Amino acid sequence: MPLETAEYLLALPEIWVLGMACLILVLDLFIRDDSRILTYLMVQATLVVAALITLAVQVPEPVLAFGNTFISDGMATLLKLFIYLVTGMGFLYARPYLQDRGLFKGEFYVLGLFAMLGMMIMVSASHFLTIYLGLELLSLCLYAMVAFNRDSGTCSEAAMKYFVLGALASGMLLYGISMLYGATGSLEIAAVASAIGAEEGSSIVLIFALCFIVVGLAFKLGAVPFHMWVPDVYHGAPTPVTLFIGSAPKIAAFAIVMRVLVDGLGGLVADWQGMLVILAVLSLAVGNVIAIAQTNLKRMLAYSTISHVGFLLLGVLAGTPDGYAAAMFYTITYALMAVGAFGMIILLSRAGFEADELEDFRGLNARNPWFAFMMLILMFSMAGVPPTVGFYAKLSVLQAVIQVDMVWLALVAVFFSVIGAFYYIRLVKIMYFDSPTDEAALQSNPGLRAVLSVNGLAVLGLGLFPGGLMALCSAALL
Amino acid sequence: MSFERIIFYAFAAILVYAAGRVVTARNPVHAALHLVLAFFTCAGLWLLLEAEFLAIVLVLVYVGAVMVLFLFVVMMLDINSAPLREGFIRYLPVGLAVAALMLFEMVAIVGVRYFGPDQVAIPARHPEGYSNTAELGRVLYTDYVYPFEIAAVILLVAIIAAIVLTMRRRPETRYQDPAKQVQAKKADRLRVVKMSAEKKQ
């Protein structure tokens, strides 16, 4: 079967990012340390051009390529664009932090680009093999990035934990996939779906495979009870890496959940719905309750991620197009909020000082009212206070859950969200009503300040006008 | 019993014995060597299944490269494995019970009932002159070219990550710089001190 040029055109964004990552890797060797910013600019330019290419090669109808291992459709296009956006913001926030600590190296950005390539592969995969390989590419880059600050013990410890548990999760996923292959005779998502559809009832082997796949995905998403790595990794990793792990990969993880559970194993919806209900309820409970006990902001945000994953799963388990669109909206807006929140930690940090304790935000309003207001918007959005986008995201997920007559689940979600609102609002109280103990100036990088402001305002603006993004999400899933 | 079947059972018996010795051998070098034996017999079984490419790769890569490296490490590190074995007998019953339970569960779910010959058709024999290697190459570069390229990228990232994590300046490490050593002059190392002769006291 000869390959057509058209197939390569469909994968042009991936090919471009791969080519540029390799090129930047080599060029970076010839750039002196004091002009390292060139590497950074090339990386950002790569992202912008990748976005343009993605828009140029998008197709109205889903198209398969490369022997049905690659799919180009609306969901892939939309999620890729947001992955570029979030990754670009993450790289921008990372720069002052890395410069202050002598970590501003080309390899950070090259590994970041490769990780992004992994996410793009996951997002437009239509074959279990591609999903697995994309996931491994992403994970491998993330392990190395977590350990990037080699002189820090906590970084190495976090990387080790992440690596061991990540490898375990990959093994689980792979075992489930191998069972699936045994039961259906194919690894193409469409072929698996039709093989499951042709079978009456669900065989025990398929359920066995499904269990392992759901466990593997839950590990990667960080859903309870497979969340043990999340707080340690978020806490131990350098803040820009935490920012990166906590944002864009969530979008890619959502994409593979959609591809695997909905597109591939949609015939087993009755079986995985129950599993996701357990994961979602536990994630909401554990994430929100344990976050209250945290004094470290990065740990608190890690537990908050766990609770947000619970919401994401709620949208998916509703099993309706509205639910999927709501979950997609939730994931994208959560990635924007997480980037902003970790960006604030970077804004308050400086050489030799990490502003990752709640105490470090004490009296931020007196030090800088504008950025205290930005943090207020981000925290309110995570808590789900109107008119921020977090409120609308939670509302649309709950609507989808209620539509399928699972009112009790919606009540549980609201109950734990109210508990969770406490620790977000506690941070607001610390910023506004306590007096500052630390008078040092914030990071003065103008790019960081400008984008962080836009980030905060976008969270507010999307909350006031969510219709556009929501329509895009619904259209992407058709 | 056909000759092929005899070979299968012979290889299978050696494989099980070798695998068992890997776990039970007291000397780590013996364990590694038994693992080599296990790989060899495993390659033999794959040859019986007409998977000659996999069989050769197993011998070349695992026996030829991985296990040799492993043996080097084991011989250099002088690992005392005695503490690791403490309580082997004490935990044996629990371990055996768990293993038996897991075996039972796996067989119940993924046993002959779902993957037996009546469920999955027995693959047909390949005609003479069929090349497993050529077929694999053909599929890898056509149907699976996209995953194949991604796998290549993963290997590239592994190299980059390994270099990023290990290559760094460590102030406590002493380096030799041959260029500097060659350029050293007599004047750098030797100091001739002029002093007048002194009489022994």
Interval A368-426: pLDDT, tens? 899 999 999 999 999 999 889 999 999 999 999 999 999 999 999 999 999 999 999 99
The answer, yes or no, to whether residue B148 has pLDDT greater than 80, is: yes
Subunit contact B150:A127, Cβ cutoff 8 A = no
Cross-strand bridge partners of residue A270: none
**Residue carrying structure tokens 């556009």:** A468
The tens digit of pLDDT for each residue in A177-234 reads 998 998 888 999 999 999 888 876 667 888 889 999 999 999 999 998 999 999 999 9
Task: Give the span between the Cα atoms of A110 and A105, in whole angstroms.
Answer: 9
- Considering only CB atoms, A208 lies closest to which of B109, B146, B168, namely B109
The tens digit of pLDDT for each residue in A108-130 reads 999 999 999 999 999 999 999 99
Subunit contact B147:A130, Cβ cutoff 8 A = yes
pTM score, two decimals? Answer: 0.89
The answer, yes or no, to whether residue A1 has pLDDT greater than 60, is: no
Minimum CA–CA partner of B116 in chain A: A182
- Considering only CB atoms, A18 lies closest to which of B115, B153, B158, namely B153
Q: Label residues A278-300 b or e (16+ Cβ within 10 Å = b).
A: bbbbbbbbbbbbbbeebebbbbb
Q: Return the closest-CA partner of residue A394 out of A337, A303, A330.
A: A330
- Which structure tokens are listed for A217? 């995905």
Taking contacts as CB-CB distances below 8 angstroms, the residues of chain A near B114 are 182-183, 203-205
- Considering only CB atoms, B154 lies closest to which of A70, A107, A136, namely A136
| A132 vs A202: which has the higher pLDDT | A132
pLDDT class for B10, splitting at 50, 70, 90? very high
- Which structure tokens are listed for B22? 């890997």
Subunit contact A69:B165, Cβ cutoff 8 A = no
Subunit contact B158:A140, Cβ cutoff 8 A = yes
* Measured CA angle at A189 (ends A187, A190), to 5 deg: 120
pLDDT class for A41, splitting at 50, 70, 90? very high
- Considering only CB atoms, A205 lies closest to which of B109, B146, B153, namely B109
* Measured CA angle at A57 (ends A253, A337), to 5 deg: 35
Task: Give the span between the Cα atoms of A372 and A356, in whole angstroms.
Answer: 15
Task: Give the span between the Cα atoms of A271 and A298, in whole angstroms.
Answer: 35
pLDDT at A426: 92
Subunit contact B153:A144, Cβ cutoff 8 A = no
User: Does A141 lie at the interface with B, CB-CB under 8 angstroms?
Assistant: yes
pLDDT at A441: 78
Task: Give the span between the Cα atoms of A451 and A88, in whole angstroms.
Answer: 11
Q: Return the closest-CA partner of residue A122 out of A112, A113, A133, A114.
A: A133
pLDDT class for A2, splitting at 50, 70, 90? low
pLDDT at A30: 92
Taking contacts as CB-CB distances below 8 angstroms, the residues of chain B near A33 are none
Interface with A, mutate which of B153, B163, B165, B167 (most A CBs under 10 A): B153
Minimum CA–CA partner of A138 in chain B: B154
Average pLDDT of A317-323? Answer: 91
Taking contacts as CB-CB distances below 8 angstroms, the residues of chain A near B110 are 179, 182, 205, 208
- Cα A84 to Cα A112, A137, A237, distances in angstroms: 11, 17, 22
Minimum CA–CA partner of B168 in chain A: A150
Q: Quick one: B56 exposed, middle or buried, by C-beta within 10 A (0-12, 13-18, 19+)?
A: middle
**Residue carrying structure tokens 């079986």:** A271
Minimum CA–CA partner of B106 in chain A: A208
What is the distance in angstroms between the Cα of A191 and the nearest Cα belonging to chain B?
15
The answer, yes or no, to whether residue A159 has pLDDT greater than 60, is: yes
Minimum CA–CA partner of A139 in chain B: B154
User: Does A158 lie at the interface with B, CB-CB under 8 angstroms?
Assistant: no
What is the distance in angstroms between the Cα of A278 and the nearest Cα belonging to chain B?
23
Q: How do strand A70-72 and strand A63-65 relate by DSSP bridges?
A: antiparallel
Subunit contact B161:A143, Cβ cutoff 8 A = yes
Task: Give the span between the Cα atoms of A50 and A162, in whole angstroms.
Answer: 29
The tens digit of pLDDT for each residue in B161-194 reads 999 888 777 777 777 888 888 888 888 888 888 8
- Considering only CB atoms, A117 lies closest to which of B143, B153, B164, namely B153
Evaluate whether A327 touches A399 at the Cβ level (below 8 Å).
Answer: no
What is the distance in angstroms between the Cα of B151 and the nearest Cα belonging to chain A?
7
- Cα B79 to Cα B18, B22, B26, B69, B87, distances in angstroms: 21, 15, 11, 15, 18
> A323: Cβ–Cβ under 8 A, 6 or more apart, which residues?
A315, A316, A317, A397, A400, A401, A403, A404
Evaluate whether A131 touches A260 at the Cβ level (below 8 Å).
Answer: yes
- Considering only CB atoms, B146 lies closest to which of A66, A147, A204, namely A66
pLDDT at A3: 61
Subunit contact A67:B145, Cβ cutoff 8 A = yes
Rg of chain A over all Cα atoms, to the nearest angstrom: 21
Subunit contact A150:B158, Cβ cutoff 8 A = no
Q: Quick one: A56 exposed, middle or buried, by C-beta within 10 A (0-12, 13-18, 19+)?
A: exposed
| A337 vs B109: which has the higher pLDDT | A337
Taking contacts as CB-CB distances below 8 angstroms, the residues of chain B near A11 are 146
Task: Give the span between the Cα atoms of B73 and B78, in whole angstroms.
Answer: 9
What is the distance in angstroms between the Cα of A361 and the nearest Cα belonging to chain B?
33
pLDDT class for B125, splitting at 50, 70, 90? confident
CA dihedral A28, A29, A33, A38 (to 10 degrees): -20
Subunit contact A134:B154, Cβ cutoff 8 A = no
